[in-house]
Structure 1
Amino acid sequence: MADTINQDLIKTDLYDAVNGEWLKTAKIPGDHSTTGGFTDLSDGIEKTLMADFKELLDGKLEPQNAEMAEFKKFYALVSDFDKREKDGSQPLKPYLERIEKLNGYQDLSEQLADWILTGLPTPFSFDIDSDMKHSTTYALFASGPRLFLPDKTYYEKDNKAAAQLMPIFKDMMTELFKQAGYDQDQATAIIDNATAFDQLIAPHVKSAEESADYSKMYNPRTLDQIAASTDKLDLKTAITTLVHGTPETIISPEPAYFDALSDLLTDDHFQLMKSWMLVKTVMGLSSYLTEEQRQTSTIYGRAMSGRKEARSQEKAAYDLATGVFDQVVGDYYGRKYFGEAAKKDVHDMVVKMVNVYKKRLANNTWLGKATRDKAILKLDKLGIQVGYPDKIDALYSLFKVTDATHGGSVLSNVMTFSRIRSEDDFARWNKPVDRTRWEMSAATVNAYFHPFHNIIVFPAAILQAPFYSLKQSSSQNFGGIGAVIAHEISHAFDNNGSLFDEYGNLNNWWTKEDNQHFQALAQNMVKEFDGIPFAGQTVNGKLTVSENIADAGGLSCALEAAKGEADVDLQAFFLNWAKIWRQKATPEREQLLLSIDVHAPAKLRANVQVQNLDDFFNTFDIHEGDGMYKAPAERVKIW
């Protein structure tokens, strides 16, 4: 059925004009917190793949490769619900016992590297990514841990969301501990200690807004400096064991956390930390056990997002299996449902958008020539990944399932694969960066730009209607996937991406004057969104500035590309732009995202960005007095 567009309403509210009829009837499924747009595409892929994988389990579909054969074994294991009930909490016990046996920091210190590889919680995290100043080499990063509440801002006095969420969290954890064999008093004591430790951590980690500023991520420290953060744990030995070498530099996105680590890891806090580890472990691993434990483990997350019910057993098994074998599933999906012809077509579209961007940069009036030339060079070096990788990552050839007849459980297999993945990650340290490596499954409805690698990635899953279809007009496609493609290109020149050069190095390639001008324009974008009322709260313009700059640049460039086609139809362009942001969400999810998400709410992405484009006002004959009108002087134009 064709969408009903309320033409009269466009002048007042583009998003409602396009999506109003749909919003009246759209229902959020009980196990979802949103419906529409991206969610509908994900649901469609899930339905398709669940049907295919049922045939795989039934022997009607043959695995195309060894990795898919292992996926089949794992899917069969996670779908054996009777076996999971029989196993009960037994698979979890060895991990809890290992934590319970700790009598002091020394006990943990002696096994710290193995502890990290096993996947047990620690009050800090290490990971590998390309060095922000030497992007051709993988470096070690050191950060703080995740908090129990969604963001450090929830720990501020009188935070209403925290007052609602923390009792739900404690009740859920009490139930999970009881299901794992602890009595009520034990559970209460552990949870009280754990939340006390969590409160101690909170002031020293970054908020979502602070984390959104990449300019403050690069804080190099020596191995000795990181090791000196605490005298309770031998971080030096742990790190050198993990990476099989001695890093001269470790990058800490959260240096204040390591400055505070010695105050957190004191003898008085040992029992608090131990309890925190138990809570993290029970919370993280209960979903791999019985149905009762899986259902219970979703209570807190559902309260945060407003989902009314947990995923069904079958869907949860699908989520788990496809999550562990994500690239294997992506390879299957991409080859079967996307194919080489579409891969080439979309790649050509990306190249076309890059060329539009180059042309705009060449004609830019506020950048000096030196900065312009460097920006164009950055586009020349931009890596493009479309559809799915040429081959499955070799990592997945190491995933061998231990089935039930050989004593394997869902949890034991998950932990084995997690360890293999961690060992593979740490083994990358100091090796050359592979810019062709995919970090997202082709079956994921998303796209991204990686500033450290200077690459843009468009998985097959997003390359379908309404974003992209050979049945849509060129203007519809440019208003959909064209704007998304240009959005990702724009990330190379947003307030974060602009800090990195053509190789992905953190390197100031701007003249001082150009940079000052850009910062002023970026501040205009902060102001445009900051304080807009939404879902009973307001938008944080600083938190969302990078994505808003990318939206603005993407939409503007896609518009120019659409205008270059023979069948240009600007109404279709703007209407499809509004359609791709169609979304209905629970109030809880909307409020959560306002606190932690770097993207503006979907409706505002649709409405505010078009108000910065002169063609929008001309296309729909919008004038002063109309709800969608914005005076020319207030229209934010950056790229």
Structure 2
Amino acid sequence: MTRIQDDLFEAVNAEWLAKTEIPSDRPRIAAFDELVIENEKRLAADMKALSELSEQESPELTQAIAFYKKAGDWTTRNADDFSAVKKELDKIASLATFEDFKDSLADIALHSQASLPFSFGVQADMKDAVHYALGFTGPGLLLPDKTYYGEDHPRKQELLDFWAKNTAELLATFGMADAEKLADQAVAFDGLLVESANSSEEWAKYAELYNPIAVEDFATQVTNIDVKAFVESLLGRLPEQIIVFENRFYESFDRLIAPENWELIKAWMLTKIARKATGYLSEEVRILGGAYGRFLQNVAEARNQEKHQLDVTEGYFSQVIGLYYGKKYFGEAAKADVKRMVEVMIKVYQSRLLSNDWLSQATAEQAVEKLDAITPMIGYPDKLPKVLSKLVVDADQSLYENAVKFDEILTARHYEKFSEEVDKTEWHMPAHMVNAYYSPDSNTIVFPAAILQAPFYDNQKQTASQNYGGIGAVIAHEISHAFDNNGAQFDKFGNLNKWWTDEDYTAFEKKQEEMIAEFDGLETEAGKANGRLIVSENIADQGGITAALTAAKLEPDYSAEEFFKQWAEIWRIKASTEYQQMLLSSDVHAPGKLRANVPPTNLEDFFEAFDIKPGDGMWRAEEDRVKIW
């Protein structure tokens, strides 16, 4: 039997690890996923019951249910002749030359299902978070991360081959001639993009990617399309600058998006349309369309029709379903208790910042000001985004045709926001999602209702120490993101703005390197951890567990054993090797076992609680313990 002194994760979760099976339609099972699965069952039953009613509690829910019913009408879906998809494919297939493509850019972006081989997106301006900026990136890659394209990657060729074969089958299903050639051309274009794409490690340092370019200078660099005309067609006016997030792609644009590559680009766009459509069509095409994703993650079977029906509906109505869920299942007592825990955690952080032994008083006071300005949002939002009122289901159109119409409405709204001020009260996660987040550009922390359940939180069956080891650590984790390697570069207003002294930030960078070194190269069953990719989440985990432990100690029934055991329980996970390999290369979070085992070893209380000594598997010498917040 594994001892806690040797492996906290294995010891605490031994019974669960032995008995729990990964569901056949999932790549993993974890504490988070168990709640997701229960929520799916609950919502599927609710949606079915709501489908029997003639009237819903809101117009948005009425449309969500109408779309849900269309998604579950398999008789109609299986009889679809794919004419609507063929119409979308024809829009691109009819473009004979690169000049045709250039002339059609605005129409493609605003009125088609095609993906462009570059992206202009509206988001809060990192240096002026009250207003929106126009960002520019490349189109992304077919494989999960740039590292997959290395010649020594064991899955590179088999994944590209499978994608091409699967995509050719889809194109043939839609009546496309030369389907295999088109798929191969798409893979060839993807290969041209690799060198210019950001790696996951580069994306993880998102605060460093902000590169504003004056529109005139952008148009001088990018000459193969009429940038100014295209951008004006999207926004209704020209912005003063464009924020470039992928510099290599920007610099390589005219070489990549060029007449000599048009046939490859065209093929790539056709495959994107075909693959995007599959979730709204017949059962046979739905299963075929998901085959690559299942192969990539080693998932045995597709999600059943009932789960798929909910998935598809959530694609457009997740906030509507989330608001329904929050109002029905989230109580005011739980909201008040979690709000209290947030307030306690912020006070703990204030104390820790002011007593920190490596920050100057000036920087510590600035940090406390930022902390005081954090806005917590708990449970579910007060209102839905207005654009959802425009998503009205047409009973005479197919599920796919309705999705096409909704995409056009949402795309128009996306670019329309550029002329408005940023709504910092808007939620970017529905209330029924088992997750939480910190938003640096609004300095907000959001805790959806769905995560406020056992093992994270239960105000009836779990002790205070268990709740702090669960949701308390998650709350403090999100607060810690305000002071991780990215969040620390944003001020209390959400602007990318240096508020540290030079000496303090240099010291902080040294602390970051210590955290990177602590995780870098750690072995997992799927490979080695990349300390640089996961540093921001590891800083947040360490800050989270440290602050939550400090808060737990204030409770009269404090138990260190309960606290650390609960911490290990919330990170329990089993996953396919292929899925783990994908996350090791692309996910900014450490594997669950490392999240459970490493942060406690930086805390003296952990060693005292379980009498851990030199020679034990969990021992870490005092001089090797990383302490930041």
TM-score, normalised to structure 1, is 0.96
Q: 1:538: which partner in 2? A: 528
1:132 aligns with 2:130: no
1:318 aligns with 2:310: yes
Q: 1:373: which partner in 2? A: 365
- Measured in 1, the distance between the counterparts of 2:381 and 2:435 equals 15
Q: 1:86: which partner in 2? A: 79
- Measured in 1, the distance between the counterparts of 2:20 and 2:153 equals 32
Shift of 1:323: 2.4
Alignment map for 1:424-463 (pairs within 5 Å): 424-463=413-452
Shift of 1:46: 0.4
The question of whether the paired residues in 2 share the 8 Å contact of 1:106 and 1:232 is answered with no
Amino acid at match of 1:197: F
Q: Which ranges in structure 2 are unaligned for 5 or more consecutive residues?
A: none
Q: Which ranges in structure 1 are unaligned for 5 or more consecutive residues?
A: 1-5
- Measured in 2, the distance between the counterparts of 1:226 and 1:415 equals 31
Q: Secondary structure at the match of 2:418?
A: coil
Q: 2:227: which partner in 1? A: 235
- Measured in 2, the distance between the counterparts of 1:177 and 1:229 equals 35
1:123 aligns with 2:117: yes
Shift of 1:293: 0.9
Amino acid at match of 2:352: R
Alignment map for 1:337-356 (pairs within 5 Å): 337-356=329-348
**Residues 52-91 of structure 1: CA distance to partner in whole angstroms, max 9, x if unpaired?**
11111122x8511111111111111111111111113222
Q: 2:405: which partner in 1? A: 416
**Residues 451-478 of structure 1: CA distance to partner in whole angstroms, max 9, x if unpaired?**
1111111111111100011121110000
Q: Secondary structure at the match of 1:35?
A: strand
- Measured in 2, the distance between the counterparts of 1:416 and 1:276 equals 23
**Residues 434-467 of structure 1: CA distance to partner in whole angstroms, max 9, x if unpaired?**
1101111001111111111111111111111000
- Measured in 2, the distance between the counterparts of 1:299 and 1:366 equals 52
- Measured in 2, the distance between the counterparts of 1:390 and 1:634 equals 46
Q: 2:95: which partner in 1? A: 102
Q: 2:286: which partner in 1? A: 294
Q: Secondary structure at the match of 2:446?
A: strand
Question: Quick one: which of 573, 577, 584 aligns to 1:583?
Answer: 573
- Measured in 1, the distance between the counterparts of 2:522 and 2:91 equals 50
- Measured in 2, the distance between the counterparts of 1:92 and 1:222 equals 38
**Residues 98-144 of structure 1: CA distance to partner in whole angstroms, max 9, x if unpaired?**
00011122222223223112342111112111111111111111111
Amino acid at match of 2:260: D
Q: Secondary structure at the match of 1:221?
A: strand
Q: Secondary structure at the match of 1:10?
A: coil
Q: 2:151: which partner in 1? A: 157
The question of whether the paired residues in 2 share the 8 Å contact of 1:486 and 1:558 is answered with yes
1:34 aligns with 2:57: no
**Residues 350-395 of structure 1: CA distance to partner in whole angstroms, max 9, x if unpaired?**
1211111111111111100110011001011112111100112211
- Measured in 1, the distance between the counterparts of 2:314 and 2:399 equals 13
**Residues 304-353 of structure 1: CA distance to partner in whole angstroms, max 9, x if unpaired?**
11111111122111100122101000000000000333222212211211
- Measured in 2, the distance between the counterparts of 1:424 and 1:210 equals 29
**Alignment length, in residue pairs?**
627
1:273 aligns with 2:265: yes
- Measured in 2, the distance between the counterparts of 1:216 and 1:632 equals 33
TM-score, normalised to structure 2, is 0.98
Amino acid at match of 2:372: D
- Measured in 2, the distance between the counterparts of 1:228 and 1:437 equals 36
The question of whether the paired residues in 2 share the 8 Å contact of 1:535 and 1:591 is answered with no
Q: 1:3: which partner in 2? A: none
Amino acid at match of 1:463: L
Q: 1:47: which partner in 2? A: 41
Question: Quick one: which of 253, 260, 264 aligns to 2:252?
Answer: 260
Question: Quick one: which of 159, 166, 169 aligns to 1:175?
Answer: 169
Alignment map for 1:547-586 (pairs within 5 Å): 547-586=537-576
CA RMSD in angstroms, aligned pairs only: 1.3
Q: Secondary structure at the match of 1:365?
A: coil
The question of whether the paired residues in 1 share the 8 Å contact of 2:98 and 2:258 is answered with no
- Measured in 2, the distance between the counterparts of 1:300 and 1:146 equals 17
- Measured in 2, the distance between the counterparts of 1:216 and 1:362 equals 27
Fraction of identical pairs, as percent: 45
**Residues 214-248 of structure 1: CA distance to partner in whole angstroms, max 9, x if unpaired?**
23211001222333343332221111121112100
Alignment map for 1:520-535 (pairs within 5 Å): 520-535=510-525
Q: 2:208: which partner in 1? A: 216
The question of whether the paired residues in 2 share the 8 Å contact of 1:88 and 1:290 is answered with no
The question of whether the paired residues in 2 share the 8 Å contact of 1:484 and 1:554 is answered with yes
The question of whether the paired residues in 2 share the 8 Å contact of 1:546 and 1:598 is answered with yes
1:112 aligns with 2:105: yes
Amino acid at match of 1:90: S
- Measured in 1, the distance between the counterparts of 2:90 and 2:476 equals 51
